[in-house]
Amino acid sequence: MSADKRLEELGIALAAPGAPVANYVNAVRAGNLLFLAGKGPSAVDGVRPAGKLGRELSVEQGYKFARTIALAHLAVIKAELGSLDKVKRVVKVLGMVNAMPEFTDHPKVINGYSDLLVEVFGERGKHARSAVGMGSLPNAIPVEIEAVVEVE
């Protein structure tokens, strides 16, 4: 099924990709690979994306934040390629969670990102992944995710 059509079925309209917040670009294409820069989350349910998982934020909030990052990456992909249908496969995802030392549910947080990619791309959205904890992230964001996508 078309990934662009699947987004429509899910009732998702992608916003224009946000500009990088420092001296980098949102994506770099090298051959048939598209490297997506690390992105942070958008506000969810009126909650500003700041704080640590396991202290100010719950796993459920982290999951929703990770999902917003997937939406941001989809917007970048679409802007770079013109269509999500040019994605052959999501290859690798690195999810970084700003967490308390005793927090151990990093994978459950990053599932917010992974689940949306599988909803949109089906089997092509399944990917290799790392979900790791960090002592801090820029501007106290709770989650940052980067990815590599194989494209036509």
pLDDT-based confidence at residue 45 (cuts at 50, 70, 90): confident
pLDDT in tens, 98-137: 999 999 999 999 999 999 999 999 999 999 999 999 999 9
pLDDT-based confidence at residue 19 (cuts at 50, 70, 90): confident
Q: What Å distances lie between residue 31 and 35, 76, 125, 149, 151, CA to CA?
A: 11, 17, 20, 11, 9
How much is the pLDDT for 68?
Answer: 96
Phi-psi region of 6 (alpha: psi -120 to 50; beta: other; left: phi over 0): alpha
Are 27 and 106 spatial neighbours (Cβ–Cβ below 8 Å)? no
The domain spans of the chain are: 3-16+33-151
Phi-psi region of 110 (alpha: psi -120 to 50; beta: other; left: phi over 0): alpha
Pick the CATH number of 3-16+33-151 from 3.30.1330.40, 3.40.190.10, 3.40.50.300, 2.60.40.1120: 3.30.1330.40
Q: Which two tokens stand for residue 57?
A: 């934020």
- pTM for the whole thing? 0.96
Higher pLDDT, 28 or 47: 28
How much is the pLDDT for 115?
Answer: 98
